[in-house]
Amino acid sequence: MYAYDQFDRQLVSQRVAQFRDQTQRYLAGKISDEQFLPLRLQNGLYIQRLAPMLRIAVPYGTLNAEQLRKLASITRKYDKGYAHISTRQNVQLNWPKLEEVPDILQELAEVEMHAVQTSGNCIRNVTADQFSGVAADEVEDARAYCEIIRQWSTFHPEFAFLPRKFKIAVCGSESDRAAVMVHDIGLQIVKDAAGNTAFKVIVGGGLGRTPVIGSVIHEALEPKHLLTYLEAILRVYNQLGRRDNKFKARIKILVRAMGAEVFKADVEKEWAHIKDGALSLTDKEISRAQSFFQPPAYESLPQQDMQALALEDADFARWLQHNTHAHKVSGYRIVTLALKTTGVAPGDVTAEQLEVIADLGERYGFGEIRSTHQQNIVLPDVRQQDLLALWKELVELEVASPVVGTLNDIICCPGGDFCSLANAKSIPIAEAIQRRFEDLDYVYDLGEIELNISGCMNACGHHHIGNIGILGVDKKGQEFYQVSLGGSQGLDASIGKILGPSFAQDEVPNVIEKVLETFVSLRQPEERFLDTFRRVGIDPFKERAYA
Amino acid sequence: MPKIIKDLNVVEDSWQVWRDTETLPATGDYIVPLSLWQAHKEELLALGNIAVFLASDQSPKLLGTDVQSFTLIAVDFPKFADGRGFSYGRELREQHGFTGELRAIGDFMRDQLYFLKRCGFNSFALQSDELDEALASFHDFSDAYQPSIDQALPIFRRR
């Protein structure tokens, strides 16, 4: 992974000092609440319902064992002994004290971590496919380019006060695991006919209260132009994006209002000024970035027979099928640790678990750990011969629920239990659904289903792109839930269709059950929920749910 | 005389911001709205030193060739969260070749000085009683990843 040099270290430590000074001036009454707001947000600090929340950046979801141990120790020292993996691969602390945040940031800086631009109307933490560098279907490792973008966007002087937040995702594989179609900018790595790397540039996608699938404005951008092109997009958005209404301020609204073609023409005009200037990437810089993401010292191992391995134990077999993925190197496997234990908020992980996972990352891999936007943790480089032993340890640690990719691998925002924006609670909904569908055989029969829950229309739980989406709404002071069906991430992304009037909290598991029964009765053999939905449409589901 | 920050020093300043878009000021050194300038160029030049300010929805492109006739151009920040002026600063310096005094006026705050300076601003009518203390914020960071007005090369060309 990327390692800081003296320059990066100096910048992060100057940032800590800057925020310490700003916090002191705020506490001394020299900065108003209004002025302190963007300053704290751009350091990841929210003021929440019960306490502040600190969002720590995990650039493109990559962590090492030392960082995990530091996070564990910080949660013990400054918080309540657990952390939360967010839907943008970041780590959130729910109970820090405002005046201690500079100290937390200082401790994070010791392990090359920070909370820079994890919130606020600026370029946010860039995200990537959590299987970058190891996925069997990879075109090219996205991480080097993510790091290049991270550096360019960090403390960018021109783009710290954008109309609204700005999220960039990069995907380097054929199947999209970074949701590039629903980001402000999505970058899909492609190869041209000659085998050269290029980026398909997608702009103006997004979730929130106006979900939009992005538009392609460049089919194949050469890597050397990556930053100048991004800068041109941001410059157009910074000047023309709406600032009169925060619900219409995202780039998706601008692109839609202008039309993708006109927007693109403006970007190209701006780009012409800087295209071959100092910000053009050099081969040297691309190689430098790539040098940090070279494959670790893999052993030369034979590919194991997964089916034979599965005969060891029925529970192990289920885990193997659902929680591990093909690795591009023979004899290795990617393992997902499911932070989806029923009764625990999706994505929550205790300090003890973090420490054990750090150890496991070293013992069963090369010390690298990933966080995912599905709120799980990944050990990317596990030898296939070690899978059974690892599984036993994961069972012990309660992170082996064999539910990855199933109905019970719920994506869920913190919701009304923590978040001051939320209209409704989301964690109890996740729990109620997990309890209703405890029969794993039934869950497996349902096949691949993504169920996503957001506690309000800011859509942190990505409900629009869940095959089943649940949105908390406020109805005359009561918490209600709107169900949508047929959303999906991926390159054929779609926005879910609303089933109909919203439901009371205790009705939700019944409604989901009816939706699933409808699916089971209509599905063709081996059909996924999404495919059935796309074939039959929403009407049969609606009839059943409101019968 | 009111004080501003100019070229990293606190100095006294004679310019006054004239926000009326209909009537002309009396004699003196005025920073006037773009529309007033465009409607009354000759009369304004007869009054004394005249500069122009861009409102946050007025791109520097609207200045046309007039850019070179000013010794001072100001950019107004109606709210500190309105960051359009950061792009205008860079555009004036990088695309229109403006080398005169580029001043931030309006509701920007001390904690934006470092970024404003990077975007080409060199004078700051900062609304604060603690201008001397505010100077420290220009030094929040000693270097930067990106190229901009104060550093032509990105760090990756200097590493």
- Contacts of residue A273 in chain B, CB cutoff 8 Å? 94-95
Mean pLDDT rounded to a whole number for chain B = 96
What's the confidence (pLDDT) of residue A547?
A: 86
Question: pLDDT tens across A215-260, in order?
Answer: 999 999 999 999 999 999 999 999 999 999 999 999 999 999 999 9
CB contact at 8 A, A230 and A149: yes
Cβ–Cβ of A30/B130 closer than 8 Å?
A: yes
Six-digit token string for A480: 């209600």
What distance in Å separates residue B118's CA from the closest CA in chain A?
6
Q: Which residue carries 């994070």 as its tokens?
A: A108
Residue A248, CA distances (Å) to A29, A255, A256, A316 in order: 33, 11, 11, 48
Superfamily of A127-289 according to CATH:
Sulfite Reductase Hemoprotein, domain 1 (3.30.413.10)
Nearest chain B alpha carbon to A14: B141
Ordered by start, the domain boundaries in chain A are 6-110, 127-289, 306-397, 411-545
C-beta atoms of A161 and B154 within 8 A: no
Predicted complex ipTM: 0.97
CB A39 within 8 A of CB A22: yes
CATH architecture of the region A6-110: Alpha-Beta Complex (3.90)
B22 min Cα distance to partner chain A (Å): 25
Nearest to B119 among A158, A243, A285 (CB): A158
Cβ separation A278–B115 shorter than 8 A: no
**Does B111 sit within 8 Å of A30, measured CB to CB?**
no
- Tell me: the pLDDT tens digits for A351-360? 999 999 999 9
Q: What are the C-alpha distances in Å from A44 to residues A92, A118, A384?
A: 9, 5, 38
Contact A277 B145 (CB under 8 A): no
Nearest-CB residue to A35 (from B80, B83, B144): B80
Residue of A157, A162, A282 lying closest to B146 (CB–CB): A157
pLDDT tier for residue B25 given thresholds of 50, 70 and 90: very high
Q: Which of B54, B141, B151 to mutate to test the interface with A (most CBs of A within 10 A)?
A: B141
Chain B residues with CB within 8 Å of chain A CB: 59, 80-84, 86-88, 90, 94-95, 109, 111-112, 114-116, 118-119, 130, 140-148, 152-157, 159
Mean per-residue pLDDT for A414-427?
87
Locate A412 and state its tokens. 């869920």
Please state the rounded mean pLDDT for residues A179-206. Answer: 94
Min Cα–Cα distance to chain A from B79, Å: 10
pLDDT band at residue A364 under the 50/70/90 scheme: very high
Amino acid at B130: E
Class of domain B3-157: alpha beta
Q: What is the mean pLDDT of residues A480-490?
A: 93
Distance (Å, whole) CA B87 – CA B119: 7
Give the pLDDT confidence of A465-480 residue by residue, as tens digits: 999 999 999 988 889 9
B84-94 helix and A226-240 helix, angle to the nearest 10 degrees = 120
pLDDT at residue B88, rounded to an integer: 98
Q: Is the pLDDT of residue A211 over 90?
A: no
Q: Which residues contact A253 (CB under 8 A, 6 or more apart)?
A: A210, A241, A242
- Of A145-149, A438-442, B3-7, where does mean pLDDT reach its minimum? A438-442
**Chain A residue at shortest CA distance from B142:** A11
Q: Convert the pLDDT of each residue in A103-130 to its tens digit.
A: 999 999 999 999 999 999 999 989 999 8
Spell out which residues of chain A touch residue B59, defining contact as CB-CB under 8 Å.
239
pLDDT of B36 > 70? The answer is yes
Which chain A residues have a beta carbon less than 8 Å from that of B141?
11, 14-15, 18, 155
CB contact under 8 A, B143 and A7: yes
Exposure b/e, A154-176, CB count within 10 A at least 16 = b: bbbbbbbbbbbbbbbbbbbbeeb
Question: Which architecture, in CATH terms, is A306-397?
Answer: Alpha-Beta Complex (3.90)
Give percent of chain A with pLDDT exceeding 90: 85
What is the band of A50 on the pLDDT scale with cuts at 50, 70, 90? low
What are the residues whose beta carbons fall under 8 Å from the beta carbon of A142, sequence distance 6 or more?
A: A60, A128, A129, A132, A170, A171, A172, A178, A187, A189
Could you tell me if A277 lies within 8 Å of chain B, comparing CB atoms?
yes
Q: Which two tokens stand for residue B123?
A: 């004078």
- Rg of chain B over Cα atoms, rounded to whole angstroms, equals 16
How far off is chain B from A211, nearest CA to CA, in Å? 25
Please name the member of A39, A121, A273 whose beta carbon is closest to the beta carbon of B111: A39
Q: How many CB pairs under 8 A join A and B?
A: 103
Yes or no: say if A114 and A42 are a contact pair by the CB < 8 Å rule: no
A521 touches chain B (CB under 8 A): no
Please, where are the H alpha helices in A208-302? 226-240, 251-258, 260-274, 283-291
pLDDT tier at B21, thresholds 50, 70, 90? very high
Q: How far is residue B89 from each of residues A193, A230, A242, B83, measured CA to CA in Å?
A: 41, 19, 19, 11
Mean of pLDDT values over B140-149 = 97
* Binary contact (A14, B141; C-beta < 8 A): yes
Check CB contact of A161 with chain B, cutoff 8 Å: yes
> In this complex, is the C-beta atom of A5 within 8 Å of any C-beta atom belonging to chain B?
yes
Contact A267, A236 (CB under 8 A): yes
Region of A472 (left: φ > 0; alpha: ψ -120 to 50; beta: rest) is: beta
Report the CATH architecture of A411-545. 2-Layer Sandwich (3.30)
- Per the CB < 8 A criterion, the answer to whether A139 and A172 are in contact is yes
In this complex, the residue of A38, A151, A157 whose CB is nearest that of residue B118 is A157
Chain A residues closer than 8 Å to B147 by CB: 277-279
Query: Mind listing the pLDDT tens digit for each residue in A318-333?
Result: 999 999 999 999 999 9
DSSP state of A403: -
- Residue closest to A68 by CA, chosen among A352, A297, A339, A341: A352
Q: Residue A161 is nearest to which of B86, B95, B141, comparing CB atoms?
A: B86
CB contact under 8 A, A156 and B146: yes
Of A11, A22, A282, the CB nearest to B157: A282
User: How does pLDDT run across A396-407, given as a tens digit for each residue?
Assistant: 999 999 999 999
The strand pair at A324-326 and A368-371 is best described as unpaired
A230 contacts in chain B (CB < 8 Å): none
User: What is chain A's mean pLDDT, rounded?
Assistant: 94
For residue A272, the distance in angstroms to the closest alpha carbon of chain B comes to 11
Same fold, A127-289 and A411-545: yes
Phi, psi (5° rounding) for residue A381? -130, 70
| Contact residues on chain A for B80, CB-CB shorter than 8 A | 35, 38, 161
Rounded average pLDDT over B57-72? 96
Output the pLDDT for position A192: 83
Q: Which of A31, A155, A284 sits opposite B141 (nearest CB)?
A: A155
pLDDT in tens, B94-113: 999 999 999 999 999 999 99
Nearest to B141 by CA among B123, B106, B120, B117: B117
Evaluate the CA torsion angle A502, A508, A512, A514 in order and state its sign.
negative
Nearest Cα to Cα of residue A379 among A324, A328, A424: A324
Minimal C-alpha gap between A461 and chain B (Å): 27
Helix, strand, or coil here: A369?
Answer: strand
Q: For A255-304, what is each residue's pLDDT tens digit?
A: 999 999 999 999 999 999 999 999 999 999 999 999 999 999 999 999 99
Instruction: Find chain B residues with C-beta within 8 A of A38's C-beta.
Output: 80-81
Task: Find residues 84-123 of chain A whose CB sits inside 8 Å of chain B.
Answer: 121
Neighboring chain B residues of A15 at a CB cutoff of 8 Å: 141
Tell if the CB–CB gap between A160 and B82 is shorter than 8 Å: no
Q: Which two tokens stand for residue B21?
A: 């878009």
Considering chain A, what percentage of its residues have pLDDT values greater than 70? 99
Q: How far apart are CA A359 and CA A66, in angstroms?
A: 9
- Checking if the pLDDT of A208 tops 90, the result is no
Tell me the shortest Cα–Cα distance from B74 to chain A, in angstroms. Answer: 17
Q: Coil, strand, or helix at residue A514?
A: helix
Q: Which residues in chain A are contacts of B144 at CB distance < 8 A?
A: 11, 155, 157
- Secondary structure of A75-101 as H, E, C letters: HHHHCCCEEEECCCCCEEECCCCHHHH
Spatial contact of A105 and A113, defined as CB atoms under 8 Å apart: no
CA distances from A503 to A463, A487, A495, A509 (A): 16, 19, 20, 10
